[in-house]
Amino acid sequence: MSAVLERFLRYVKIDTESDRDSKTYPSSAKQLDFLRLLADELRQIGLSEVNMDQFGYVTATLEATTNAPAPVIGFIAHVDTSPDFCGKDVKPQIVENYDGGDIILNAAEQIVLSPRRFPDLLKYRGETLITSDGTTLLGADDKAGVAEIMSAMEYLRAHPEIPHGKIRVAFTPDEEVGAGVEHFDVPAFGADFAYTVDGGEVGELEVETFNAAGARVYVRGRNVHPGTAKGVMLNALRIAMEYDALLPVFDRPEHTEKTEGFFHLMLLKGEVESAQMEYIIRDHDDQRFQSRKALMQSAADYLNRKHGETVVELTLKDQYYNMKKMIDPHPRIMEIARAAYEALGIEPRVIPVRGGTDGSRLSYMGLPTPNLFAGGHNMHGRYEFVPVCALEKAVQVIVRICELAAAG
């Protein structure tokens, strides 16, 4: 079993699910348990300056093996798994020599991973795949990235004949709840640029993300006996439905792709007296992003005018911005990554991310940070899988980036 596979199988069994409603940082204490384990492992493989700070960030240094001038490169991955689907008690399954057919994840619950629904599976005939048992997510987002960075550092440490400059490593909590680098000390990290290892299938190279905001909509109703409700009752549930109906139907995730933005209703709960909705707002284009937020405010204002009182309160909070404008002025970063892919026979596919990474915020904090593939498919759900060959190729890419950057 390869080192990266062994690590990945071990890591995904550790529950690190983040908590969107938590007021602490990190949002769940169990992330700290894994981060401490990673700090110990970094020391064991011989990295220096291993540190875990008060926020849980684990950083370390792989010292340079060359005296030639070379940039200080960072590699970053997050340890938490999505709170949108169960990440506890993950039971990884190994599917060897995949034959292109259905994969029974869980016979008792009739959960099947099928190429009819997920045609990307057919790219991996003959390969070894890792899945969950269908009752949880797998956690390749982003424990694949964690395992790949760790394995690449171990390999470079064991092969000092490979010339490379100083390398910095960071493992972060809470990326999945939008707070991954909220307290990250970029100057102390000391990298000239970095790469997150948090992307999808082999070949993806991402420099463009959404602009992102979160929205909370609170609806205040008025409950009276339905028999005497005429002209008096305000049904918060119906007002919430009315609010959602004011947003464009085809600007939803299920109807959009590529660089098309969306409004995504993530939560709706309540009763006649009050209701609450939570949305995320996404768009690659700055102007359209601002227009989307303005439309949500206009919808709230309209309903308040209609009902003659404040029945809808909207709170908007920007989460991150498109990192492309911060990375484009530094073309060498992408040139090195492209060259590493091509040297390994991997065709770089520079695509816009329909999501975000820690690199989005880091790039605006002064650390240009594009995103490398980590190899996973179908993130955040029971049908997640990762090919072992992708884990291994990601390790090779990290090693080659370090080597190429030192070559000038």
Look-up: residue for tokens 């908007």? 316
The CA dihedral of 101, 107, 109, 113, to the nearest 10 degrees, is: -20
Q: What angle in degrees, to the nearest 10, is found between the helix axes of 3-12 and 140-158? A: 140
Which entry of 141, 142, 154, 175 is annotated as an active-site residue? 175
Which entry of 41, 80, 141, 251 is annotated as an active-site residue? 80
Residue 17 catalytic?
Answer: no
Q: How far is CA 354 from the centre of its chain?
A: 10
Annotate 216-282 with DSSP letters as a single string.
EEEEE-B---GGG-TTT-B-HHHHHHHHHHTS-TTSSGGG--TT--EEEEEEEEE-SSEEEEEEEEE
Burial bucket for residue 42 (CB in 10 Å: 0-12, 13-18, 19+): buried
Q: How far apart are CA 163 and CA 184, in angstroms?
A: 29
Q: How far apart are CA 378 and CA 384, in angstroms?
A: 4
Asked whether the CA dihedral 225, 229, 234, 240 is positive or negative, the reply is positive
Q: What angle in degrees, to the nearest 10, is found between the helix axes of 140-158 and 388-407? A: 50
Indicate the helix (H) or strand (E) that contains 59. Answer: strand 58-62
Amino acid at 42: L
Residue 175 catalytic?
Answer: yes
Under DSSP, is residue 167 helix (H, G, I), strand (E, B) or coil? strand
φ and ψ of 277, to 5 deg: -130, 150
The CA dihedral of 101, 351, 207, 27, to the nearest 10 degrees, is: -40
Burial bucket for residue 24 (CB in 10 Å: 0-12, 13-18, 19+): exposed
CB 68 within 8 A of CB 96: no
Q: Is the peptide bond before 26 cis (omega within 30 degrees of 0)?
A: yes
Kindly list the distances between the CA atom of residue 140 and the CA atoms of 208, 268, 373, 384, in Å, as whole numbers in the listed order. 21, 28, 11, 8
Catalytic sites, residue numbers? 80, 175
